[in-house]
Amino acid sequence: MFFKYFKAGAIASTLLFNTVIVSAQENTNATAKQVVEKFQADLISVMKNGKQLGYAGRYSNLQEAVINSHDLPKIARVIVGKEWEKLSEDQQNKLEDLIIRLSIASYAHNFKDYAGESFTYDSEEETTRGGILVHSHLNIPDDKPVKFDYMLKETGASWRIINIIANGVSDLALKRSEYTSILQNEGFDSLVSKIDGKISDYSKL
């Protein structure tokens, strides 16, 4: 059941980046807890209508929710670590676009139906580097709850999710290990191909 909601393991770039810039202003002054709870409410709403919406409908409905709650450009940079500085500006922009599309696609795929699930806020704490860690869990009828820890950093006048830890598994750490290795051993084009493949797979499954 865990992998149904969080697998640890198409929109034009210009439109999508413009949406990021505009939407980033919409959560101004919202607390870290409010950002997380709004995102979770959006997920549940889409899950309740998931079958009727289909993958494309879920993607469309979740696009704004993901962009408004996640710092996706920062996530793209963190995922490849020091390799980021070795990429050209065009490659950096392309990778950001791919990470945005991949993030939305993964939510549209993994949160596709509803069986009475609900999120519960547990607590929050400040981190040593000025971030906030919001602790919550997903209640699943007739199954164990999934613990979600959201790491948020303040971006301008708003809080944004930069990492999600599900049952102790860091999504950011897993992607960084995988994507950095691909960049170093196979090159940028191979990484692009693999991410494109994942996005395509999400749309079919």
Is 2 part of a structural domain of the chain? Answer: no
**What is the rounded distance in angstroms from the CA atom of residue 85 to the CA atom of residue 73?**
14
Is 81 part of a structural domain of the chain? Answer: yes
Render each residue's pLDDT in the chain as its tens digit; 205 residues.
Answer: 334 444 433 333 323 333 343 444 455 689 999 999 999 999 999 999 999 999 999 999 999 999 999 999 999 999 999 999 999 999 999 999 999 999 999 999 999 999 999 999 999 999 988 999 999 999 999 999 999 999 999 988 899 999 999 999 999 999 999 999 999 999 999 999 999 999 999 998 6
Query: What is the domain extent for residue 92?
Result: 12-204
Is 1 part of a structural domain of the chain? Answer: no
Q: How many domains does the chain have?
A: 1
Contact 101, 11 (CB under 8 A): yes
Work out whether the CA dihedral 92, 22, 113, 54 comes out positive or negative.
negative
Is 6 part of a structural domain of the chain? Answer: no
CATH number of the domain bearing residue 190: 3.10.450.710
67-125 residue pLDDT tens: 999 999 999 999 999 999 999 999 999 999 999 999 999 999 999 999 999 999 999 99
Is 58 part of a structural domain of the chain? Answer: yes
Is 7 part of a structural domain of the chain? Answer: no
